[in-house]
Amino acid sequence: MKAKKDLALYGVKAMLPIIPGLIPFGVIMGSTAATNGLSFFETMGLNTVVFAGASQLASLDLMGKNSESLIIILTGLIINLRFALYSAASSPYFKKLPNLFKLMMSYLLTDQSYAVMTTHEDEFSSKNDVIYFCVGASLFMAVCWHLCVVLGFVFGNIVPSEISLDFAVPLSFMALTIPTLRSAKHIAVACISMVLSICFYKLPFNLGLIVTVAICIIVASIFINKDPKQKSEVVDG
Amino acid sequence: MGNSYFWGTIIPLGIGTLLIRMSFIFFGKHLKLSEKSQKLFSYIPAAVFPAMFAPMTFFYQGSSEALLGKERVLAMLFAIGVSFKTKSLLISILAGLILVYFLK
């Protein structure tokens, strides 16, 4: 086993190329919070309590439309459902850790930390090495995220308007999706999701996302049931 | 924004999100995933993310007259192609931003 510090620093290094994609996201989260009238305390509270940018932006949007709390919570939880997938993928590494350490690693699970973990996990000889690599990568990501949100909140949109920085948000959601589309069926589900979400955009109570995702999951389960036996991806629980 | 509305919404959302994150890390022993649910899990990003970025892009009214204000739709389609090719978060985002800069 290598030194913990070196492993954590390697995690930071592995996270670096992902950070530029995070910057516009965080800055927009901060400036959107400011324009929606949130105080600095509320903004950082939202950022700390939820710590999941996509659902935070969706919540701000829905709060701005005075949506029901229940709808906002459900929408946010559906957006964050993917963390269960990340939790399953990282659980073999964190199995033997003390509970408080496990809690910290759970809290720090993000799209970015998962992406970095899955691309580097095969490089390590022991599971313990992966743990400290993940500590470094995910703590670094968390620090950068909070800093970007503070920047966005304090300076508003610092980037000149000729560059459509807000467009970076849908672009980053897209760029997070494409690498997960590992079969034609995944691509089909993504296409159905795009079309339905546009059709259901005007649904009352802002139920569009919830209904779209529900239908997509049903379609995916039909795909799976029709699937002839094939080798499945092993998620060691 | 009302205080109770704000915190009453984000605290349950935060707790629920943390529980989702903790699920398999804490309760992996008890949550044995069937092969089918494992496969279903892999569809979650495909179901959720497009439902966010598609309306954000489609309903945005841009300034390009030639494209009826829909330059972001074109830039998004281009960036999707780039993302399939490179799988890189950074390059895909830059591709979309640069194209939209020239289109609008």
**Mind listing the pLDDT tens digit of every residue in chain A (237 residues)?**
578 999 999 999 999 988 888 888 899 899 989 988 999 999 999 999 999 999 999 999 899 989 999 999 999 999 999 999 899 989 989 989 999 999 999 999 999 999 899 888 889 988 889 999 999 999 999 999 999 999 999 987 667 777 788 898 899 889 989 988 999 999 999 999 999 999 999 888 789 999 999 999 999 999 999 876 554 454 444
pLDDT of residue B3: 86
Rounded to an integer, what distance in angstroms lies between the CA atom of residue B64 and that of residue B70? Answer: 7
A149 and A209 co-located in one domain:
no
Q: Among A118-122, A178-182, B29-33, B44-48, which stretch is predicted with the lowest mean pLDDT?
A: B29-33
Residue A178 forms contact with B (CB below 8 Å): yes
Cα dihedral B59, B62, B66, B70 sign: negative
Among the partner-chain residues B18, B39, B93, the one whose CB lies closest to the CB of A171 is B93
Contact list, A119 vs chain B (CB under 8 Å): none
* Average pLDDT across chain B, whole number: 91
CA atoms A17, A12, A52, B18: torsion sign: positive
- Which strand (E) or helix (H) includes residue B14? helix B3-27
Are residues A139 and A199 located together in one domain of the fold?
no
Can you give the residue range of the structural domain that contains A203? 181-228
- Residue A233 falls inside a structural domain: no
A8 and A94, same domain (yes or no): yes
Cβ–Cβ contact B76 with A under 8 A: yes
Residue B32 pLDDT exceeds 90: no
Find the Cα–Cα–Cα–Cα dihedral B1, B7, B13, B16, rounded to 10°.
-170
Within-domain flag for A55? yes
Phi, psi of A182 (to 5 degrees): -95, 0
In a domain, A236, yes or no: no
- Identify whether residues A156 and A204 lie together within a single domain: no
Q: What is the pLDDT of residue A25?
A: 85
Q: How far apart are CA A9 and CA B2, in angstroms?
A: 42
Q: In the prediction, which pLDDT does A162 show?
A: 78
Could you tell me if A156 and A219 lie in one domain? no
Task: Indicate whether A65 belongs to any domain.
Answer: yes
Euclidean distance between CA atoms B47 and B52, whole angstroms = 10
**Contact check, Cβ <8 Å, B89/A201:** no
Residues A127 and A223 in one domain: no
